[in-house]
Structure 1
């Protein structure tokens, strides 16, 4: 019972989550039901007897159809023609006052739902593309530290994003004594937020990097450990759509069998020498290549002074 009440209290957001067909039906039904209810009231009022027997409370309203038309004209202030209200029946103009208030309230709510649905950045969220697989390989050609890498791209070319930033989490689970799987906890994985590398400019595809050091939940794990582990990597991207100012969030996740060990992503932003400009080849977005002589365990290698600029995990 409490769950149903909780859903009812959040009715506005539940309606926005519905598809456009349901919202259009709700929009039409809202007005039609309102017109019909007040049409019934006006039809009953039109049958009331007045002090002047030759006049009625609502002129020229003799049928339900005419009462329905009068209700619609009153609610939307279209303007009265042959049908109009007299001052002989207090219930008539009291009902008109109530209908005016209800009509404004109903129109505001329904219009607000439609506008909120239009402005929702759901389609914008779908234009964020994540790589099908995550890879674990060396940070780069010079720094051999093991690094978890995920490729990310914004495939929309005209609507840019502002204040984009990423987060990466590890959700761990285990089998309890009753044989049920339960969530142990969620660990935050550093992708450079302590040094500002988590704020990204998505004008071209990037690679999100998490250096596997002593602070990483993947530290010390081998290829076999990861394959048998019970966890899920959850990556989120948040940003502001410049055109509307609305905030959006895109999410994806990776299971252990979706992590490739000893691989790296193939370069997809290549220079076109003839045109003297860079070209993005999205056909290479999910393409990976194997890294030879990669360690079988995620133990951090010793870093030198020349590698100090690679300490921050993030985007390179």
Structure 2
């Protein structure tokens, strides 16, 4: 019991450390903060107020929504109270029986606030109404109506923009929790699986990667977050993917690859982060979006391959089995890329990959009864 609890604590601490050292989290958020920004630069966020409003959190949007309407009702309520007081309409001013008020039935602060609310929301219960006796009241009615329309349009635009943000579409693009290294079409490849959970396509999809690592230059300088391009391909190419079903991305580990100097026993000792990007345009909304995820050395399994998840039924329909999306099988794989390219027959069944609970390794004894795609 104590051993299980200790293992869980160590696992949680390891995940927390991994999150702290990542630049990009598994769900695509960037783990970066800015410091020592000049005060004048903060004003640029106010100048670009529309983007600021769209990007702030929902809790602040809801607070601003409630505050903007409530505050405008209250301020105009004070103005209506002031107009009624100036005209002698209030109860405590004891108006004469033949007195003509600026607004009927506005006799105090509460009724002035209610009239302000009814005016700006165009409710009009009929109990309070403007009279033509006060020109200033007519002007205030016009100003409040225009300002209320502006607030309505602005807040509705912010809410609709936040709802339709492209990053919401990115939530339905899923990457595998781990990456694998195994032979593919005569080359040693690093593979990642990606799936589109919606039936609508991502038009013009492009996939690429960046390897982030700390390097030392010849001058002795340390370059933090040095970026190296990582090219990915699929069976149909690398650009304009037909992203209608889950795809497996392949990075060929050749002499030009930064993974060429790594081996099965040194991979998890490396310090790098592989960030994978998928750019595309949503077919239904025509909005461009980008999906990001990252892999650290402990999330790359050497000597494993993904289990096929696409099959074809007897009726001729194509079926995607997402229960196998995070399952792998061990395959014969060379100890290192140099051995694979230079020593023939240098393969072994590697089981040194880093396993986790969400990435299941299974054994296959009999070939499955389906047609591979």
TM-score in same-fold range (> 0.5)? yes
In the other structure, the counterpart of 1:118 is 163
Structure 1 stretches of at least 4 aligned residues deviating more than 6 Å after TM superposition: none
> Compared with structure 1, are the counterparts of its residues 72 and 163 closer, same or farther at alpha carbon in structure 2 (3 Å cutoff)?
same
In the other structure, the counterpart of 1:133 is 178
In the other structure, the counterpart of 1:247 is 288
In the other structure, the counterpart of 2:79 is 41
The answer to whether the aligner puts 1:291 opposite 2:331 as a matched pair is yes
Taking the TM superposition and a 5 Å limit, the aligned residue runs for 1:152-231 are 152-156=194-198, 158-174=199-215, 183-192=224-233, 197-231=238-272
Per mean C-alpha deviation after superposition, the further-off stretch among 225-234 and 247-256 is: 225-234
Which of these residues, 51, 61, 66, is aligned with residue 28 of structure 1? 66
- Contact conserved, 1:137 with 1:261, CA < 8 A, in 2? yes
In the other structure, the counterpart of 1:61 is 106
How far residue 93 of structure 1 moved from its aligned partner, in angstroms, is 2.9
- Contact conserved, 1:127 with 1:155, CA < 8 A, in 2? yes
How far residue 109 of structure 1 moved from its aligned partner, in angstroms, is 0.7
Q: Distance in 2 between matches of 1:229 and 1:199?
A: 33
What are the superposed Cα offsets for residues 194-232 of structure 1, whole Å, 9 maximum, x if unpaired?
A: x95233222211100111223322233323443222210
> What is the DSSP-based 3-state SS (H/G/I as helix, E as strand, rest coil) of the residue aligned with 2:332?
coil
How far residue 3 of structure 1 moved from its aligned partner, in angstroms, is 5.7
Q: Distance in 2 between matches of 1:183 and 1:6?
A: 28
Which of these residues, 253, 256, 260, is aligned with residue 297 of structure 2? 256
Q: CA RMSD in A?
A: 3.1
> What is the DSSP-based 3-state SS (H/G/I as helix, E as strand, rest coil) of the residue aligned with 2:341?
coil
In the other structure, the counterpart of 1:311 is none
Q: Which has the higher contact order (CA 8 A, sep 6+)?
A: 1
In the other structure, the counterpart of 2:321 is 281
In the other structure, the counterpart of 1:151 is 193
In the other structure, the counterpart of 2:357 is none
How many residues are aligned here?
Answer: 292
How far residue 244 of structure 1 moved from its aligned partner, in angstroms, is 1.9
How far residue 19 of structure 1 moved from its aligned partner, in angstroms, is 5.3
Per mean C-alpha deviation after superposition, the further-off stretch among 74-83 and 220-229 is: 74-83
What are the superposed Cα offsets for residues 64-96 of structure 1, whole Å, 9 maximum, x if unpaired?
A: 222122212322444583433344444323322
- Contact conserved, 2:54 with 2:158, CA < 8 A, in 1? yes
Q: Distance in 1 between matches of 2:215 and 2:47?
A: 35
Q: Distance in 2 between matches of 1:266 and 1:260?
A: 14
Gaps of 5+ in 1: 303-315
How far residue 62 of structure 1 moved from its aligned partner, in angstroms, is 0.9
How far residue 37 of structure 1 moved from its aligned partner, in angstroms, is 0.9
> Compared with structure 1, are the counterparts of its residues 56 and 225 closer, same or farther at alpha carbon in structure 2 (3 Å cutoff)?
same
> Compared with structure 1, are the counterparts of its residues 298 and 94 closer, same or farther at alpha carbon in structure 2 (3 Å cutoff)?
farther
What are the superposed Cα offsets for residues 21-49 of structure 1, whole Å, 9 maximum, x if unpaired?
A: 55344323322221111011110111104
> Compared with structure 1, are the counterparts of its residues 44 and 214 closer, same or farther at alpha carbon in structure 2 (3 Å cutoff)?
same
- Contact conserved, 2:203 with 2:240, CA < 8 A, in 1? no
Gaps of 5+ in 2: 1-38, 89-94, 343-372
Per mean C-alpha deviation after superposition, the further-off stretch among 158-167 and 233-242 is: 158-167
